[in-house]
């Protein structure tokens, strides 16, 4: 309804399109007065004049259908826009951190009328229409309003409710129409339809306040116990009796919480759960950045999973993929007929390796989309941290490109300055709004300061995956033992840069796919028992080495075959000692690591690490110390990675009893039991630069962990300086 001059006098013009209508009238809500409209086209297009009324009033449409049915409802175009000038200004500036509350679909009541407001950014479109079951997917029924130079199109549709499916019909300047899902959609249909679904994600009642308060209290303590169990939700466990389907969010929660709690991990990290059309991408080709995938239940069930884990004192980290997005025609690619979210030039906007598109981080609205996305996961779903995928591909313009396939930055360099600024900004915002939340970079280069504060010139991440340590260590353990003495540097080189970043030592899903073999089968040995012994020795070294921990599911019980995203883990293997022994060891390593501050609260303190012996390559022995800052607790780690038993003298900084708290060759872990009878008393024999030493018995392919702690004697009683493990 709008004022217009027509014929002999002024009045208000009303036009509408109603499929299958025989008659239509305008009804004034306040008085019930009625004005009939004229049918101008058989498709249901009506027009009429309300004479002598200069001011728009509140009205409804009364429609008569064939058969006499009469319906009366509010016209969507009788409502003012739901976005204000300030919202649009901040969005165009890139600083509307809650843009997810403005764009997308939102259940609202305006002037007492319930409905859904829809808004989408498509600045180059000539027209955008809302389509769905409620209008028979006919783009003529709900053309959206352009909100000026902002590029945003908006419409409030009364009567539409939760569960309605919809898309945007985006007409470009050449007249071509693309059906697009909602970039800010919170729930999606399954492929191949991929329609967005109206869903209120604010209704969930949380009960994890104690956990969130605890997380906030740890905001200034990045060097705290963090041991992460990486999970692909679709293949952790399945239901073979029900067509081998994956567990739902609600089915998974108690089983995963029980298992992770028993195993002693502090966090789970879910591989990407944002909506994606292709299972084989493992979630890394995202089309619905704001929506938990439909595969395992609605968004409220995902919230229930997170809430349940929090109540069991387990943190939740989510893989986040701001580095690229797929070319699927229904999603972000060429959204309004132009390269809106991606760069137009493929030398900037296309990933050669993955066939995907790269976000234009220099465009304010694109940056706003991604910044708000990180914040939305934490606000809506109480996520405790984001592991940012493929950071190296974001940092460098020449990532995986040949000469001539990339464009230097404005200074002539290879760094992607806009992406670097974006990463700094997202890390600062997450830490500002959600103290204690963790930002973790999967970054494989030597880019400086990834896990250093932005104020100190860094990128602002809390942690960085230690990819160099992982590659070197696996290369060493993949060799047969007789060749290892020539590769001792693979175990020692990483200490040269260990404290340059806040590292997480990782064996992730990337190491057990694409023909790389399982963790068990990577080990350089011929028999399963020897492979298991090597893997136990490797895990104990990993858990004692400085750095937070991450292990991909299945690795903890030495799964034999490579990971398959379409099948459950091989849980039946736990009935066999070689596999169950590895699982029990990982459980005990977690308990030792988490419960011993000398380990878990000194991962980033170079003053609390010291080599004992790192040069005995002929014996394939590696020994080092971990201790607390006050030197009241010492942990001595002795790795022996050859196939022969031996006795070796190990120098130690303190005299007294060094208790054997972990021996990977224990019969309990399916070893043969060769060890040190629970510990060794030091002797006044100089070795390795120390005045004291022990004569340690080293089994083949084993890692032994000794612990010494200061004991203060008061009278006849002994008081320990810390709790034993």
Task: State the catalytic residues.
Answer: 389, 442
249-263 and 299-311 are packed helices; what angle lies between their axes, rounded to 10 degrees? 20
Residue 203 CB: number of other CB atoms within 10 A?
11
Residues 6+ apart with CB under 8 A from 658: 636, 652, 679, 680, 681, 682, 694, 706, 707, 708
Nearest residue to 152 via CA among 177, 174, 184: 184
> Long-range contacts of range 104-107, CB-CB < 8 Å, 24 or more positions apart?
104/182, 104/183, 104/184, 104/185, 104/186, 104/290, 105/166, 105/182, 105/184, 105/185, 105/186, 105/196, 105/198, 106/82, 107/161, 107/162, 107/198, 107/200
Tokens of 235: 């293949």
Q: Where are the beta strands (DSSP E) in 499-619?
A: 503-507, 548-552, 609-613
Task: Please say whether the beta carbons of 705 and 540 come within 8 A.
Answer: yes
Task: Please say whether the beta carbons of 319 and 289 come within 8 A.
Answer: no
Beta strand pairing call for 315-320 and 267-270: parallel
Tokens of 82: 């739901």
Tokens of 426: 């997202």
d(CA 656, CA 691): 12
Task: Please say whether the beta carbons of 40 and 23 come within 8 A.
Answer: no
- The two most distant CA atoms of the chain are separated, in Å, by 115
Count the helices and strands in the chain (H runs, E runs). 14, 38
Helix (H) or strand (E) holding 348: helix 346-349
Helix (H) or strand (E) holding 373: helix 364-381
């Amino acid at each position: 309804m709008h004022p217009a001059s027509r014929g002999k006098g002024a009045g208000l013009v009303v036009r509408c399109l109603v499929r299958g209508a025989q008659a239509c009238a305008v009804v004034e809500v306040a008085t019930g007065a009625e004005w009939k409209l004229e049918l101008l086209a058989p498709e249901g297009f009506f027009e009429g004049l309300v004479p002598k009324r200069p001011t728009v009033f509140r009205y409804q449409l009364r429609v008569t259908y064939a058969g006499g049915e009469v319906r009366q409802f509010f016209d969507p175009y009788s409502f003012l826009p739901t976005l204000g000038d300030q919202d649009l200004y901040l969005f165009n500036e890139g600083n509307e951190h809650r843009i997810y509350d403005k764009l997308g679909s939102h259940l609202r009541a305006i002037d007492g009328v319930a409905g859904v407001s829809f808004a989408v950014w498509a600045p180059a479109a000539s027209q955008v229409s809302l389509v769905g079951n409620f209008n028979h997917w006919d783009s003529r029924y709900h053309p959206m309003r352009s909100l000026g130079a902002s590029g945003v199109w908006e419409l409030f549709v009364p009567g539409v409710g939760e569960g309605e499916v919809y898309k945007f019909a985006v007409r470009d300047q050449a007249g071509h129409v693309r059906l697009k899902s909602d970039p800010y959609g919170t729930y999606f249909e399954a492929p191949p339809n991929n329609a967005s679904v109206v869903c209120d994600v604010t209704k969930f009642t949380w009960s994890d306040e104690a956990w969130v308060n605890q997380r906030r209290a740890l905001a200034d303590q990045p060097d705290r116990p963090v041991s992460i169990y990486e999970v692909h939700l679709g293949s952790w466990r399945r239901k073979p009796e029900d067509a081998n389907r994956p567990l739902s969010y609600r089915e998974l929660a108690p089983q995963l919480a029980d298992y992770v709690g028993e195993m002693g991990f502090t966090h789970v990290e879910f591989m990407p759960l944002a909506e994606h059309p292709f299972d084989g991408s493992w979630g890394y080709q995202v089309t619905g950045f704001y929506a938990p995938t439909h595969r395992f239940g609605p968004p409220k069930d995902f919230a229930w999973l997170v809430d349940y884990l929090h109540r069991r004192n387990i943190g939740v980290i989510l893989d986040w993929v701001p580095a690229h997005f797929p070319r699927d025609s229904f999603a972000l690619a060429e959204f309004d007929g132009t390269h809106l979210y991606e760069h137009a030039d493929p030398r900037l906007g296309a990933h050669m390796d993955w066939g995907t598109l790269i976000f234009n981080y220099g465009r304010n609205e694109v940056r706003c989309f991604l910044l708000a996305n990180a914040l939305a996961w934490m606000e809506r779903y109480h996520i405790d941290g984001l592991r940012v995928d493929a950071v190296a591909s974001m940092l460098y313009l020449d990532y995986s490109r040949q000469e001539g396939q990339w464009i230097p930055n404005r200074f002539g360099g290879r760094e992607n300055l806009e992406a670097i600024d974006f990463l700094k900004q997202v890390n600062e915002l997450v830490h500002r709004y959600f103290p204690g939340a963790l930002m973790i970079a999967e970054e494989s280069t030597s880019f400086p300061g990834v896990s250093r504060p932005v104020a100190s010139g860094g990128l602002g991440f809390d942690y960085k995956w230690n990819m160099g340590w992982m590659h070197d260590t696996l290369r060493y353990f993949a060799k047969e033992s007789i060749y290892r003495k020539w590769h001792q540097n693979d175990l020692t080189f990483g200490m040269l840069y260990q404290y340059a970043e806040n590292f997480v030592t990782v064996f992730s899903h990337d190491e057990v796919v694409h023909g790389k073999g399982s963790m068990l089968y990577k080990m350089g040995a011929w028999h399963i028992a020897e492979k298991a012994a090597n893997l136990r020795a490797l895990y104990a070294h990993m858990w004692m080495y400085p750095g937070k921990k991450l292990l991909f599911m299945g690795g903890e019980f030495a799964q034999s075959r490579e990971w398959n995203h379409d099948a459950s883990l091989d849980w039946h293997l736990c009935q066999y000692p070689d596999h169950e022994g590895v699982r029990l060891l990982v459980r005990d390593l977690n308990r030792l690591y988490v419960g011993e501050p000398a380990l878990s609260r000194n991962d980033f303190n170079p003053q609390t690490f010291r080599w004992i012996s790192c040069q005995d390559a002929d014996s394939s022995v590696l020994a080092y110390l971990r201790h607390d800052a006050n030197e009241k607790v010492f942990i001595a780690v002795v790795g022996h990675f050859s196939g022969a038993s031996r006795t070796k003298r190990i120098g130690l900084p303190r005299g007294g009893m060094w208790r054997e708290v972990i021996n990977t060759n224990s019969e309990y872990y399916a070893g043969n039991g060769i060890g040190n009878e629970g510990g060794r008393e030091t002797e006044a024999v100089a070795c390795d630069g120390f005045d004291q030493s022990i004569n340690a018995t080293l089994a083949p392919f084993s890692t032994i962990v000794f612990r010494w702690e200061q004991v203060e004697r008061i009278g006849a009683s002994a008081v320990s300086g810390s709790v034993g493990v």
